[in-house]
Amino acid sequence: MKTLLLTGFEPFLEHSHNPTEAIVKELDGKIIGKYLIKGRILPVVFGQSADKLLRYVEELSPEAVISLGLAAGRNKVTPERIAINVNDGVRDNSNHVPVDELIKEDGSDAYFTTLPIRDIVNNLVENGIPAEISNTAGTYLCNNVMYSLLHDSKQKGVDLPSGFIHIPASFELGLTNGKLPAWPLSSLKAAVEVAIKTLN
């Protein structure tokens, strides 16, 4: 049985819940498609999140890694195509506000995901789940962890499929912000399961 490391994030900014945390906790230990799921939660802190992710990869030696993040405001499940060498944006959970920082001094400007995102999107849509490829993971923590693992695999010459999937907000978040597209957690979880089942 192959192992898949599935990561989610803790709540951040004004979001009282992070649906990725709930999904990862529910799927931890389950067998989905060809994979046993190992679920881990990452902090929303520049300088901690990527280190933790790389440590989990070392510890678990997974055959694939999918990181999940909340993209409040999106109304589709969006696998990310590309991660860029930038930290920039709003405060993290330690109140650090990065401005135009490089993630890696020696890193490429960008890395493409090594997940089969076209197949994942096609499979999601066939299963009735709105989905499309996203061409920007932003410059916050989601981009940061995606970039960091792709960089690490490249440096080590390791062939580890990894990447990032942003998901819409869940009902809890919609309750406090009526303008936010908000999905039931069960649909968000089903989307993640479909994505995992797409992998060889």
- Active-site positions read 80, 142, 166
User: Considering the complex, what minimum distance in angstroms separates the CB of residue 158 from ligand PCA?
Assistant: 24
Nearest to 155 by CA among 105, 190, 116: 105
**CA pair distance 134, 168, nearest whole angstrom:** 13
Query: Interface with ligand PCA includes 24 (CB under 6 A)?
Result: no
Site string for ligand PCA, 43-82 (x = CB under 6 A): -x------------------------xxx-----------
User: Considering the complex, what minimum distance in angstroms separates the CB of residue 115 from ligand PCA?
Assistant: 17
**CA pair distance 138, 13, nearest whole angstrom:** 15
Query: Interface with ligand PCA includes 111 (CB under 6 A)?
Result: no
Residue 20 CA, chain-centre distance (Å), reads 8
Closest residue (Cβ) to ligand PCA? 142
The structure tokens listed for 134 are 């996203």
Among 4, 7, 12, 77, binds ligand PCA (CB under 6 A): 12
Window 129 to 158, contacts with ligand PCA (CB under 6 A): 138, 140-142
User: Considering the complex, what minimum distance in angstroms separates the CB of residue 14 from ligand PCA?
Assistant: 12
Instruction: For 90-131, give the DSSP string.
Output: S--TT-----SB-S-TTS-SEEE--S-HHHHHHHHHHTT--B
DSSP 43: P
Which positions lie near ligand PCA, rule CB under 6 A? 9, 12, 18, 20, 44, 69-71, 138, 140-142
